[in-house]
Chain A
Amino acid sequence: MHSPVAHAAAATHPTTVAASEGRMEQFVYDDAIVRKFVLATIVWGIVAMLAGVFIAVQLAWPAANLGLEWTSFGRLRPLHTNAAIFAFAGNAIFAAIYYSTQRLCKARMWSDRLSNLHFWGWQAIIVSAALTLPFGITQSKEYAELEWPIDLAIAVVWVGFFATNFFMTLKHRRERHMYVALWFYIATIVTVAILHVFNNLTLPLAVAQFVSSGTWPSGADLMKSWPVYAGVQDAFMQWWYGHNAVAFFLTTPFLGLMYYFLPKAAERPVYSYRLSIVHFWSLVFIYIWAGPHHLHYTALPQWASTLGMIFSVMLWMPSWGGGINGLLTLRGAWNKVTADPVLKFFVVGITFYMMATFEGPMLSIKSVNALSHYTDWTIAHVHSGALGWNGFMTFGMLYWLFPRLFQTEIWSRKLVSAHFWLSTVGILLYVLAIYAAGITQGLMWRAFDEFGSLKWPEFIETVTVLMPMYWIRVLGGLLYVTGIVMCGINAFMTWRNRPAKYAEVVHSAPALSAVYVDPPPPPSMLTSNTDWGKAVETKVLSGWFHRVWERKPFKFTVFTVIAVLVASLFEIVPTFLIRSNVPTIASVQPYTPLELLGRDIYIAEGCYNCHSQMIRPMWAERKRYGEYSKPGEFVYDRPFQWGSRRIGPDLAREGGRQSHDWHVRHFENPQAVIPQSIMPSYAHLLRQTIDFDAIQHRVNAMAMLGVPYGKAVREGQAVELAMQQAREINEQLESQGDYRGLHDKKIIALVAYMQRLGTDLTRPPPAPDEPAASP
């Protein structure tokens, strides 16, 4: 494992050993934990991609959901995204971090127990996701769907086990300088913790109910919660989180991976260490501002949207600088790429990084975003990043690790090559088809005929045209899954050929001395100035301060946190505090108790995965859906339901457009109403009964969050209001068609919510003495 280049480098630069001054110590790396994360990466990779293919098939052939409520697109799409991000990519970055951190620190992980608690805790979280999301237990915030008990577990595992172990390993390292890969890991760990905590501040129903009545909810309600933020603020927090989950879970740790494993595989140092420093700080400082580009033309304040766009465009340079730095690391070694499948994976992975980070800023430009947003273009973009960048960097790392972890030759290099080509073709099929689908959708939605009318006024016309592209996506996904299965077979067969006992190499390195005197800062070039001026020049302007941070994990982490939090100060806080950002509308009232329950059903079914509730102020959208959405319309929306794509039409002004009977027929069998519809059936909602007793606690919880429910919080009042509204809707329903006796079924609550959507703008404001939240 010791490359000639490495020894040559060590000989040329007697670096760390000479500078360390401590006594010589012996240590053994913990590769068992890396093997565990590698195994989990492969297993969850197969699961995540299979789930993706399964729901991709459903979009082309809706009957593929087997007619079960637990396997509908809305419920399984979050399972797919969570599995891909947190299970597949998550375990991959943990494998990378545990392997490389030990080597870069010349130290075993600080605590084997914490390493194992991290591993098993993370797997338990993934299993919890698989056991809750299909049952509609969700917060409905993209990539943050998991409910509060699991969120708490994530915080404990991430901070208590992983971060503690990582930072204590840094503290006990035997290499003075922290290599740049470790910086990326630090940024990942602290930023993900911040994002996770602030985006998941919720009020659990269990807490609200216990406080108000001393009782606990039962069943799934035990896990139910609502965010402390509402409407515009909730959307802002979510996409601050959502975008930076991409940045700090799917980008920075993989860049750390790149900066460690690419030089190892290429057997040469990174092209420019200077560039890697610029890369790091530029990403850390810029990325965190870019979230609002997910909310262009929505009810978000325009200044925030523009700020997000500008910083997104600025990301072009550091991203490409980093990508070029990676590719140029192979200078003089491109001959190896033709023969080494590990390098092939890395080269294509970095190329996808550059393509995705070119495309991302481009999509953030408002005029481009006006076309791309809510379309499949976004889906193609994220799959270019996830399958190409994250996937290929992971596979490159795995194939480099297999012989080292299992201490034997890899079982089949031909299978590695087959995996590479199969996956490459799979990604290309996927993204090219879905790019075409996205642009087609966007153009059809905004097309007018010569009379100034929408050219395709029926939304379904813009769906059916995509079917060929959806089938090509399925094919591409299948090829990609096949590739991962090949990887799994290769891993298994290599593992089978392992030695009877793994050799554990005992390494030696001197401990870092407790006292370390930094080289003095460069002399000041100022001849006539104050001491203060000279200090600024020598310690700050010369960059001397940074060199000191690079060997001080605590200081480095603190300044990284500050860089991340600055965005919150200047971007998020004003949106919360400046009243003019969210002008209130007098006619907008809280949801009635029945509508509130209906909203929770809408959330549980994952409707937001296919339907937006946000009409942008564009002529085509106003023509198709009605008056554009106003910030003040969402002040009672916890969580916001603006969505991020339109597989189906926008629902922001759905209320009153169709009869109750139409809605019930449509939910029961969408194809009976719109034959080409790809929406799954929700017939189970016509069978399942409403738990009216639970409604009072929901209303009380909302009141605790500041929703003015007035008399509805009195014991039994909300239940009475809900039953009354349910009876009224049922009577109207029975007068409109053949449905009978649905007054206590969940479908009535969902219809109540649907009929409320977007109607507040045209209502008269309530009289001062009118009880709030009455139907």
Chain B
Amino acid sequence: MSELMSAMQLTTFPIVALVLFLLAFAAVLARIFRAGSRAEMDRHATLPLDEPIPPTSTQHTRSH
């Protein structure tokens, strides 16, 4: 492995890195901008505000 990597041009590594990044970035863009995803995105965005169904009962069990 050491021999193989030593024989490679060092500039190869940054180029491979950038290509990998661009591929990953393109995949993410494809995910978010595909047709019909807006409603789904809006729904997901509300999750922190989407509390569970209002409480059915309240316990007072824990003292401190």
Measured CB to CB, the residues of A under 8 A from B are: 1-3, 5-6, 9-10, 13, 15-17, 26, 28, 32, 100, 103-104, 106, 174-175, 177, 179-181, 259-260, 263-264, 267-270, 272-274, 277-278, 281-282, 285-286, 289, 301, 303, 306-307, 310-311, 314, 498, 500-509, 522, 540-547, 563, 566-567, 570-571, 573-574, 577-580
Chain A residues whose C-beta falls within 8 Å of the C-beta of B43 in the assembled complex: 13, 15
Q: Which chain B residues in 15-59 approach chain A with CB under 8 Å? A: 16-18, 20-21, 24-25, 27-37, 40-59
Q: Decide if A543 touches B32 in the complex (CB within 8 Å).
A: yes
**Residue in B closest to A547 when the chains form the complex, CB atoms:** B31
> Bound state CA distance, A311 and B18, in angstroms?
9
> Bound state CA distance, A10 and B57, in angstroms?
20
> Bound state CA distance, A507 and B50, in angstroms?
12
Q: Decide if B27 touches A301 in the complex (CB within 8 Å).
A: no
User: Min CB distance, A286 to chain B, in Å?
Assistant: 7
Chain A residues whose C-beta falls within 8 Å of the C-beta of B48 in the assembled complex: 100, 103-104, 179, 181, 259-260, 263-264, 269-270
Closest 3 CB pairs of A and B: A543-B31, A6-B49, A9-B46
Q: Decide if B14 touches A286 in the complex (CB within 8 Å).
A: no
Known contacts A501-B61, A571-B17; is-contact A508 B44 (Cβ 8 Å): no
The CB with the most chain A CB atoms within 10 A, among B1, B20, B50, is that of B50
> Which of B6, B16, B21, B51 is A6 in contact with, Cβ under 8 Å?
B51
Instruction: Return 20 A-B CB contacts under 8 Å, by A number.
Output: A15-B46, A104-B48, A106-B52, A179-B48, A268-B49, A270-B45, A281-B25, A282-B25, A282-B28, A285-B24, A289-B17, A303-B13, A506-B55, A507-B51, A543-B30, A545-B31, A566-B20, A571-B17, A577-B1, A578-B5
Q: Decide if A175 touches B47 in the complex (CB within 8 Å).
A: yes
Known contacts A277-B32, A522-B36, A541-B30; is-contact A507 B53 (Cβ 8 Å): yes
> Bound state CA distance, A306 and B15, in angstroms?
12
Known contacts A28-B59, A506-B57; is-contact A274 B46 (Cβ 8 Å): no
Chain A residues whose C-beta falls within 8 Å of the C-beta of B25 in the assembled complex: 281-282, 285
**Residue in B closest to A289 when the chains form the complex, CB atoms:** B17
> Bound state CA distance, A1 and B34, in angstroms?
35
Q: Decide if A543 touches B64 in the complex (CB within 8 Å).
A: no
> Bound state CA distance, A100 and B58, in angstroms?
20
> Bound state CA distance, A274 and B38, in angstroms?
9
Q: Decide if B14 touches A278 in the complex (CB within 8 Å).
A: no
Q: Decide if A577 touches B44 in the complex (CB within 8 Å).
A: no
> Bound state CA distance, A103 and B50, in angstroms?
9
> Which of B11, B13, B32 is A278 in contact with, Cβ under 8 Å?
B32
Q: Decide if B52 touches A285 in the complex (CB within 8 Å).
A: no
Q: Decide if B13 touches A571 in the complex (CB within 8 Å).
A: yes
Q: Decide if B14 touches A6 in the complex (CB within 8 Å).
A: no
Chain A residues whose C-beta falls within 8 Å of the C-beta of B41 in the assembled complex: 272-274
Q: Decide if B50 touches A578 in the complex (CB within 8 Å).
A: no
Chain A residues whose C-beta falls within 8 Å of the C-beta of B17 in the assembled complex: 289, 307, 311, 566-567, 570-571
User: Min CB distance, B38 to chain A, in Å?
Assistant: 8
Q: Is the interface of B mostly helix, strand, loop or mixed?
A: helix
Chain B residues whose C-beta falls within 8 Å of the C-beta of A177 in the assembled complex: 44, 47
> Bound state CA distance, A17 and B46, in angstroms?
14
> Which of A17, A179, A301, A542 is B44 in contact with, Cβ under 8 Å?
A179
Chain B residues whose C-beta falls within 8 Å of the C-beta of A270 in the assembled complex: 45, 48
Chain B residues whose C-beta falls within 8 Å of the C-beta of A580 in the assembled complex: 6
The CB with the most chain B CB atoms within 10 A, among A273, A301, A314, A503, is that of A273
Known contacts A6-B50, A505-B58, A543-B31; is-contact A563 B13 (Cβ 8 Å): no
Q: Decide if B50 touches A10 in the complex (CB within 8 Å).
A: yes
User: Min CB distance, A324 to chain B, in Å?
Assistant: 15
Chain B residues whose C-beta falls within 8 Å of the C-beta of A181 in the assembled complex: 48
Q: Is the interface of A mostly helix, strand, loop or mixed?
A: helix
User: Min CB distance, B24 to chain A, in Å?
Assistant: 5
Chain B residues whose C-beta falls within 8 Å of the C-beta of A502 in the assembled complex: 60, 62, 64
> Bound state CA distance, A260 and B34, in angstroms?
25
Q: Decide if B10 touches A574 in the complex (CB within 8 Å).
A: yes
Chain A residues whose C-beta falls within 8 Å of the C-beta of B18 in the assembled complex: 310
User: Min CB distance, A185 to chain B, in Å?
Assistant: 13
> Bound state CA distance, A327 and B59, in angstroms?
38
Q: Decide if B49 touches A504 in the complex (CB within 8 Å).
A: no
> Bound state CA distance, A174 and B53, in angstroms?
12
User: Min CB distance, B15 to chain A, in Å?
Assistant: 10
The CB with the most chain B CB atoms within 10 A, among A177, A274, A277, A282, is that of A274
Chain B residues whose C-beta falls within 8 Å of the C-beta of A311 in the assembled complex: 17, 21
Chain B residues whose C-beta falls within 8 Å of the C-beta of A500 in the assembled complex: 63
Q: Decide if A9 touches B52 in the complex (CB within 8 Å).
A: no
The CB with the most chain B CB atoms within 10 A, among A3, A504, A563, is that of A504
> Bound state CA distance, A285 and B27, in angstroms?
12
User: Min CB distance, A312 to chain B, in Å?
Assistant: 13
> Bound state CA distance, A94 and B8, in angstroms?
44
> Bound state CA distance, A28 and B58, in angstroms?
10
Chain A residues whose C-beta falls within 8 Å of the C-beta of B47 in the assembled complex: 15-16, 104, 175, 177, 179
User: Min CB distance, A118 to chain B, in Å?
Assistant: 20
Known contacts A103-B48, A281-B28; is-contact A307 B59 (Cβ 8 Å): no
Known contacts A2-B54, A281-B28; is-contact A269 B5 (Cβ 8 Å): no
Chain B residues whose C-beta falls within 8 Å of the C-beta of A509 in the assembled complex: 52-53
**Residue in A closest to B24 when the chains form the complex, CB atoms:** A285
Chain A residues whose C-beta falls within 8 Å of the C-beta of B34 in the assembled complex: 522, 542-544
> Bound state CA distance, A264 and B47, in angstroms?
10
Chain B residues whose C-beta falls within 8 Å of the C-beta of A307 in the assembled complex: 13-14, 17
> Which of A301, A547, A566 is B10 in contact with, Cβ under 8 Å?
A301
Q: Decide if A273 touches B59 in the complex (CB within 8 Å).
A: no
> Bound state CA distance, A270 and B45, in angstroms?
6
Q: Decide if B32 touches A578 in the complex (CB within 8 Å).
A: no
Q: Decide if B10 touches A577 in the complex (CB within 8 Å).
A: no
> Bound state CA distance, A336 and B29, in angstroms?
33
> Bound state CA distance, A277 and B40, in angstroms?
13
Q: Decide if B2 touches A579 in the complex (CB within 8 Å).
A: yes
Chain B residues whose C-beta falls within 8 Å of the C-beta of A541 in the assembled complex: 30
> Which of B35, B36, B53 is A508 in contact with, Cβ under 8 Å?
B53
> Bound state CA distance, A286 and B20, in angstroms?
10
**Residue in B closest to A175 when the chains form the complex, CB atoms:** B47
User: Min CB distance, A757 to chain B, in Å?
Assistant: 30
Q: Decide if B6 touches A579 in the complex (CB within 8 Å).
A: yes
> Which of B16, B50, B54, B55 is A16 in contact with, Cβ under 8 Å?
B50
> Bound state CA distance, A230 and B11, in angstroms?
24
> Which of A10, A498, A563 is B46 in contact with, Cβ under 8 Å?
A10
